[in-house]
Amino acid sequence: MSPAPRSTKRSVLALTAASAAALLLLAGCSSSSADTPPATAGGSDLISAERCAENQAAGPITFLTSFGFVASAGLLDVVTAADKGFFKDLCLDVTLEPGSNNTQLVSAGTAQFAGVGSPSDVLVAIDNGADVSGIATYGNTVAITLMTMADGDVKSLSDLAGKTVGYKGAIPPQISAMIAEEGVDPTSINWVNVGYDPTILPQGQVQALTGYKSNEPLALKAQGYDVKEWDPADYGVKSAFNTQIVNNTFAQEHPTAVEDFLRASLHAYDWINESDANLDEALGYAEKRSESGFDKEASLARWQTEVSLIDESQPADLPIGGENAAQWQPEADMLLEYGLIKQKADVDAAIDDSFIQKIYDGNDLIWPAP
């Protein structure tokens, strides 16, 4: 196994005198450590009794994954936080479910948190009336890619004219922006909505295919296909990826629960990246939860690819998960330009970075909670 990319972020202890004193108030509560979940959900010896009570008042919390139980940033770390007991350490009762219509379900309060692919998903949902906010974004570069066969007819983006290009759901605005940057008329391309099997590209059913850098290209290369990737970032396109959302009413009523959901998840993110052994253990947690087969080698490659993208693109003034308007604005502009939202997005209103700000000391995650 090749070494996992290392996160540059660290956790710092926040066990203050007040929280230490609270240990005396928690007689009868189960002990806990970073490796052993508490035996009961009645309390925790890591945080104050007051904060524990506030988090317990949030009640059962449901997190919807962005896509099954794949090894993606913002997903594998949440799985790990659950299975390592980090949520219980902070008195949170968290259940994980495979995602489906995440923004609608979180907006309706059916779930409290969810992962989505990028800020674009949040902005489109809000444009359609969803009552959600983005509370963490992991990557600060384009995660979308365009693939062609290395020995195919597409030698430049201008060669896409007259070709069939596959996409899933909607044409990614990052791809549209890249093509426009090269002066290609998008109406000259035969766009087709396709499924999740990337082998339609080497089989010749499409001449180009959109996908995620950490998924389809790796899958095709693992099967021996030689593909060329066209990276929108190379054409000046700015974007971000893997965003966590929250129901706004829940966030207003239970702010410490939102803070500590992110705290536990990002603590797990740091823990996973500490060693190959930790990453292997985390992949095992995802494998146990997966109901439709789990390719551990492909999952390892996905995680390593995403962590590399995150580390390489991380702004110096933002911690892992940090958000700001400058990060989201390029996607908001692309969505409006390509007609994926009806009106100009209010990026500042779509983001609530207050929770991330409260769980970090600079770029160091505060663990455990005060």
Write down the pLDDT at residue 96.
Answer: 97
β-partners of residue 369 are: none
Write down the pLDDT at residue 22.
Answer: 35
Write down the pLDDT at residue 33.
Answer: 33
Please state, in angstroms and rounded to a whole number, the distance separating the CA atoms of residues 97 and 111. Answer: 9
Closest by CA position to 19, among listed 90, 94, 92: 90
β-partners of residue 94 are: 61
Write down the pLDDT at residue 44.
Answer: 78
pLDDT tens across 62-95, in order? 999 988 899 999 999 999 999 999 999 999 999 9
pLDDT tens across 232-246, in order? 999 999 999 999 999
Token pair 């690819």 is found at: 305
Please state, in angstroms and rounded to a whole number, the distance separating the CA atoms of residues 88 and 32. Answer: 9
Write down the pLDDT at residue 36.
Answer: 34
Write down the pLDDT at residue 32.
Answer: 33
Write down the pLDDT at residue 233.
Answer: 96
Write down the pLDDT at residue 108.
Answer: 97
pTM for this prediction: 0.86
Distances (CA, A) of 88 to 10, 30, 101: 21, 11, 27
- Low-confidence residues of the chain: pLDDT under 70: 1-42
